[in-house]
A and B are shown apart, each in its own frame.
Chain A
């Protein structure tokens, strides 16, 4: 049976197709490759893709997902409770709506530390 297909809305930037069992960040990277993410203030933040570096911090606005363990250096228990997660460590279980959040490591340096597209 084909895996279930969901949509991920990245707030203000576009729509990605995501498949059940797939990391949300993988779906977003693919959408970026297809040119489906528009008006990005910066490149999609992709780091380790495995929950350790904290680059792909997002807020889940709407939708269900399951998640892997994420480094507490980047996602506190409070973050996790309110839906702030690492996109590489969540797996959509419904359509999702996401908003890019500033990585913890970048907050200290200010937004200018982020690379323009």
Chain B
């Protein structure tokens, strides 16, 4: 089956307390490139291995956290299709004009039951640097910093995870790759709209609209080790790792940007096919599911968010 409709995460817009510190962190340390700065001061970033105009947007604010997680659809008519279905589900939809972010076409937006703003768009201009498409080298511009290859996914914290799951499955055609069921109910879900083990994930949390982390994909386990060296060399606040997730199998490190937003760099993870059953975890093994080597949650996992 070809991927149709919502294809993948397109961009994430996060809030930062100190813009110069954030730009330095995401460009020099994570390894992204600054594409442009908008007239309102927002800064647009991408990996050199991504074609689209940008994948990370930084907005200066007095509170850290996430403004919007946006997904890219295959074609423009998908936006009308999903607008109808989201409205039928009972959630209002608004419109963002093309060009509100440079290089991005029209968007539709709505608020998930977890309190997060989700947007869909179908058009993005390409921007440099980007991979070559004729006789391409493995990279055109030499990777730097942690050598992030793409913005990959986000993990968001908020209430009503059951309803969030229902909404993403029934309305947005996501599938649940993995879930954690605790004695008092559903704790967490990992959702896929393509063939990755997750494109977005949610954990139950009393406060709506919170950010647990944004994640960047690296080439392999060696690259995760190199990222760990960078984290120590530049005195980046580390949360946990290098370690591995049982859930999705990704090899990972969690750390914090200069505004206290958690980032992840990871490698690996299995291929998820649309007919794969949901993998489930219970209270006895959830520690292994989250941190496979430590086999228990650290104190920060369920409590530290921005």
Contacts and interface: CB of A to CB of B under 8 A. Distances in A.
Nearest to B300: A47
Interface stretch (A31-39, A70-78, A90-98): A70-78
Of A55, A69, A108, most buried by chain B (CB within 10 Å of CB) is A69
B260 A105 contact: no
A112 interface: no
A88 B261 CA distance: 14
Contacts of A69: 17-18, 62, 259
Given A48-B256, A52-B256, A52-B260, A73 B63 contact: yes
A101 B65 CA distance: 22
B256 A50 contact: yes
Contact of B260 (A43, A50, A108, A115): A50
A73 B65 contact: yes
Nearest to B262: A48
Q: Is the interface of B mostly helix, strand, loop or mixed?
A: loop
A59 B305 CA distance: 22
Given A68-B18, A71-B17, A50 B259 contact: yes
Interface string B243-259: 00000000000001111
A108 B206 contact: yes
A71 B260 contact: yes
Contacts, number: 69
A46 B300 CA distance: 8
Contact of A48 (B62, B63, B299, B306): B306
Contacts of B305: 53
A52 B62 contact: no
Interface residues of A, number: 21
A49 interface: yes
B96 interface: no
Given A48-B304, A72-B63, A53 B299 contact: no
A109 B261 CA distance: 22
Contacts of B203: none
Contacts of A88: 237
Of B65, B207, B262, B299, most buried by chain A (CB within 10 Å of CB) is B299
A55 B303 contact: yes
B62 A71 contact: yes
A47 B17 contact: no
Contacts of B206: 108-109
B57 interface: no
Interface string A101-114: 00001001100000
B256 A49 contact: yes
Contacts of B256: 48-50, 52
B31 to A, nearest CB: 19
Contacts of A53: 64, 260, 304-306
A31 B18 CA distance: 29
A51 B64 contact: yes
A108 B65 CA distance: 19
Given A52-B261, A71-B260, A47 B63 contact: no
A6 to B, nearest CB: 19
Interface string B275-306: 00000000000000000000000011001111
A19 B239 CA distance: 23
Nearest to A86: B260
Contacts of B237: 48-50, 88
Interface of A: 43, 46-53, 55, 68-73, 88, 105, 108-109, 115
30 contacts: A46-B300, A47-B300, A47-B304, A48-B262, A49-B237, A49-B256, A49-B260, A50-B256, A50-B258, A50-B259, A50-B260, A51-B17, A51-B260, A52-B65, A52-B259, A52-B260, A53-B64, A55-B303, A55-B304, A69-B18, A69-B62, A69-B259, A71-B17, A71-B62, A71-B259, A71-B306, A72-B63, A73-B65, A73-B306, A105-B303
